Amino acid sequence: MLKLENICWTAPDGREILKGVDLEIPDGQLTVITGPNGSGKTTLARIIAGIETPSSGRILLDGRDITNDNVTERAREGVSFAFQQPVRFKGITVRNLLETAIGEKAKEGRLCSILGDVGLCSKDYLDREVNSTLSGGEMKRVEIATVLARNSRLTVFDEPEAGIDLWSFKSLIGVFRRIHESMKGSMIIISHQERILKIADEIVLLADGKIASRGTGTDMMPQVLSSGSVKAACCREEALFNE
């Protein structure tokens, strides 16, 4: 279980971004954190991953205080983070990246299975470099494949829909459903897209650096869809799907 206790974070310019966030996420749960732009969603995700350190408060993973552990230490403890814009690695192949995530050389069959889970053909991708020749949608899938390879205790996705085409977005929803069905740990997705919100066990609405409300996906959807920029984002998505 992940537990956040009174998490606060102040930006270098003095702005208070997070103002006392308390949150528990049990194992096996898919939690979507949503809210308007500037509400602190991405900052909270980066703090959970260890990229940022809270100004005050504690982070507990299975009862152990990991507040001061950096991103590398969090990764060793089973915390994975997927960026809005996945990192590209010139000279590194998809095979190299997956084997690094696994922690050892892997048989072809295992690598093929992992790529197959995200809709990529191993023959076409295993020996390709993780560079600018891959589209945004392909990069998202490769990044998710590395998460699957790690079998993390806690996985955080920061706006996975950002910068990808509609077809890739539809496919990602299916990938998230499969991860959720098979995962032993927990998953957090930062998003304001309705189709991602609909697969959540719990939705957490963040506003002005605080948790405004939280509840089951079914209970929270009406409130989320009626709230400011979240509603606007969902409307833009519907327009794309209806084109």
pLDDT given for residue 232 in this prediction: 46
User: Where does the chain show beta strands of DSSP type E?
Assistant: 2-10, 16-25, 30-34, 56-61, 64-65, 79-82, 89-93, 129-130, 154-158, 186-190, 202-207, 210-216
Average pLDDT, integer, range 154-181 = 81
Q: 58 or 161: whose pLDDT is higher?
A: 58
Query: pLDDT tens, 85-141?
Result: 677 878 899 999 899 888 889 898 999 988 887 888 888 899 999 988 888 778 888
Query: Interior CA angle at 6 toward 5 and 7, to 5°?
Result: 95
DSSP for 159-192, written as a single string: -TTTT--HHHHHHHHHHHHHHHHH-SSEEEEE--
| Inter-residue contact 31 to 79 (CB < 8 Å) | no
pLDDT at 195 over 60: yes
Q: Which amino acid type is present at position 194?
A: E
- Kindly indicate the confidence band of residue 241, based on its pLDDT and cuts at 50, 70 and 90: very low
- For the chain, the C-alpha Rg in angstroms (whole number) is 18
| Inter-residue contact 136 to 181 (CB < 8 Å) | no
Average pLDDT, the chain: 86
pLDDT given for residue 190 in this prediction: 94
pLDDT at 243 over 80: no
Average the pLDDT over each of 31-40, 50-59, 65-74, 131-140 and give the range with the smallest value: 131-140
Paired tokens of 85: 């814009």
In angstroms, the CA 154 to CA 141 distance is 18
Give the count of beta carbons closer than 10 Å to the beta carbon of residue 178.
12
| Inter-residue contact 21 to 54 (CB < 8 Å) | no
- Kindly indicate the confidence band of residue 68, based on its pLDDT and cuts at 50, 70 and 90: very high
> For the chain, what is the largest distance between any 2 Cα atoms, rounded to a whole number of angstroms?
51
In angstroms, the CA 143 to CA 92 distance is 13
Query: pLDDT tens, 170-190?
Result: 778 888 888 788 777 899 999
Query: pLDDT tens, 12-39?
Result: 999 999 999 999 999 989 999 999 888 9
Q: Residue 39 carries which DSSP code?
A: S
- By three-state DSSP, how is residue 5 classified? strand
In angstroms, the CA 212 to CA 228 distance is 13
Q: What is the pTM of this model?
A: 0.84
